[in-house]
């Protein structure tokens, strides 16, 4: 069986096994950094069904909790844009501080914590009043953003300072700064918020912290066969529903790693497109979508089989990905 035929068969199978998509099927929204657009992928057909114009250099993307609005970091327009998720129309801009790259929406559905890459600042914006609530000085080139499930802690990672900065969301002040390996890119809380993972692109590792003590409890390293360790650069990652498994995008090594979240061992590597950056799951997490910056496409991964199913052409330099169920 050819690869294409195999993919089709796998696709047909996964279509059979997956619960029927609801009316107005689920979508993956992908920001195209060098096209100033969002490509909207229909999860049922795995096709791009809409292309939406944005401000300049769209990167971070996230939905409001009810998925009616989508927030987009338009980095070179120095703003966060708010779009109507149904129509794709730009509703208004939010004051974001200079060069917003990535952000995270607080569980209160109101506060956006925004990393201002050129400014060494994290900006907190109230999406309802459209006012800046606080600006917090962090390290140079802040990028990775996370918020704990209980909403008490926000994290900013800074690429050149090589730290995770821990923000108390009550006071909007830093309460800890922890070193990680070179060029931290992404952060996520896991295990019910009791652990924090931070990926380091140039260091080639993920550092695991205990949230309560901010102490380092583990480190994940990667070894892709036939790829020099220097090119194995972890960036975006996401956990399965049970938080037992993490999928980690490994940048220019063109692979996604499958990590056992308990043992911190890598179980599999999946070949995807070139310079894989961020990832997003389908609603039931049976499919994973990766943004491949250099090849300008999105790879669809069957998470059960741990195999790539399909590549979907999107715009130039796809960066962020977010699910609209």
Q: Which residues bind other proteins (CB under 8 A)?
A: 117-118, 120, 139-141, 158-163, 165-166, 174-179, 181-183, 201-204, 213-215, 228, 230-231, 252
What is the rounded distance in angstroms from the CA atom of residue 293 to the CA atom of residue 277? Answer: 7
What is the rounded distance in angstroms from the CA atom of residue 103 to the CA atom of residue 113? Answer: 5
Report in angstroms how near the CB of residue 202 gets to other proteins at its nearest. 4
Residue 39 vs 162, nearer CB to other proteins? 162
Question: 218: which 2 tokens?
Answer: 């583990």
Report in angstroms how near the CB of residue 181 gets to other proteins at its nearest. 7
Report in angstroms how near the CB of residue 114 gets to other proteins at its nearest. 16
Question: 83: which 2 tokens?
Answer: 């779009």
Residue 16 vs 215, nearer CB to other proteins? 215
Report in angstroms how near the CB of residue 16 gets to other proteins at its nearest. 42
Report in angstroms how near the CB of residue 177 gets to other proteins at its nearest. 4
Closest CA to 74 of 65, 91, 61, 89: 61
Residue 99 vs 297, nearer CB to other proteins? 99
Report in angstroms how near the CB of residue 205 gets to other proteins at its nearest. 10
Residue 158 vs 245, nearer CB to other proteins? 158
Report in angstroms how near the CB of residue 151 gets to other proteins at its nearest. 19
* Dihedral over alpha carbons 285, 312, 323, 82 (to 10 degrees): 170
Report in angstroms how near the CB of residue 68 gets to other proteins at its nearest. 34
CA-atom Rg of the chain in angstroms: 18
Half-sphere CA count of 174, side-chain side, radius 13 A: 16
* Dihedral over alpha carbons 307, 188, 120, 215 (to 10 degrees): -130
What is the rounded distance in angstroms from the CA atom of residue 226 to the CA atom of residue 104? Answer: 35
Residue 106 vs 165, nearer CB to other proteins? 165
Q: Which of helix, strand or coil describes residue 52? A: strand
What is the rounded distance in angstroms from the CA atom of residue 255 to the CA atom of residue 145? Answer: 23
What is the rounded distance in angstroms from the CA atom of residue 50 to the CA atom of residue 199? Answer: 32
Residue 33 vs 302, nearer CB to other proteins? 33
**HEC secondary structure over 258-318:** EEECCCCCEEEEEECCCCEEEEEECCCCCEEEEEECCCCEEEEEECCCCEEEEEEECCCCE
Residue 2 vs 213, nearer CB to other proteins? 213
Strands 131-137 and 318-324, by their bridges, are unpaired
Residue 1 vs 215, nearer CB to other proteins? 215
């Amino acid at each position: 069986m050819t690869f294409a035929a195999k993919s089709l068969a796998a696709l047909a199978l996964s279509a059979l096994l997956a619960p029927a998509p609801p009316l107005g099927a689920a979508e993956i929204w992908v920001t195209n950094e060098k096209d100033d657009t969002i490509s909207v992928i229909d999860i049922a057909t795995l096709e791009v069904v809409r292309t939406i114009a944005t401000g300049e250099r769209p990167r971070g993307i996230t939905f409001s909790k009810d998925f009616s609005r989508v927030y987009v970091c338009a980095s070179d327009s120095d703003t966060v844009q708010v779009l109507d998720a149904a129509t794709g129309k730009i509703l208004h801009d939010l004051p974001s501080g200079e060069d917003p790259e990535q952000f995270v929406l607080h569980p209160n559905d109101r506060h956006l914590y925004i990393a201002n890459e050129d400014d060494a600042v994290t900006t907190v914006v109230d999406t309802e009043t459209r006012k800046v609530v606080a600006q917090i000085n962090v390290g140079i080139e802040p990028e990775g953003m996370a918020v704990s499930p209980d909403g008490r802690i926000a994290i900013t990672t800074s690429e050149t300072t090589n730290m995770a900065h821990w923000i108390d969301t009550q006071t909007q002040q830093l309460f800890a700064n922890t070193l990680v390996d070179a060029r931290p890119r992404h952060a996520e809380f896991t295990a019910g918020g009791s652990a924090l993972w931070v990926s380091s692109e140039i260091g080639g590792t993920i550092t695991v912290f205990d949230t309560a003590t901010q102490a380092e409890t583990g480190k994940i390293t990667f070894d892709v066969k036939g790829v020099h360790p220097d090119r194995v650069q972890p960036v975006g990652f996401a956990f399965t529903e049970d938080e037992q498994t993490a999928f980690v995008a490994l940048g220019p090594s063109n692979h996604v790693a499958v990590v056992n979240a308990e043992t911190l061992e890598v179980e599999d590597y999946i070949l995807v497109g070139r310079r894989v950056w961020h990832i997003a799951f389908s609603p039931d997490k049976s499919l994973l979508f990766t943004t491949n910056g250099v090849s300008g496409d999105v790879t669809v991964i069957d998470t059960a089989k741990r195999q790539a199913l399909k590549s979907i052409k999107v715009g130039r330099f796809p960066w962020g990905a977010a699910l609209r169920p």
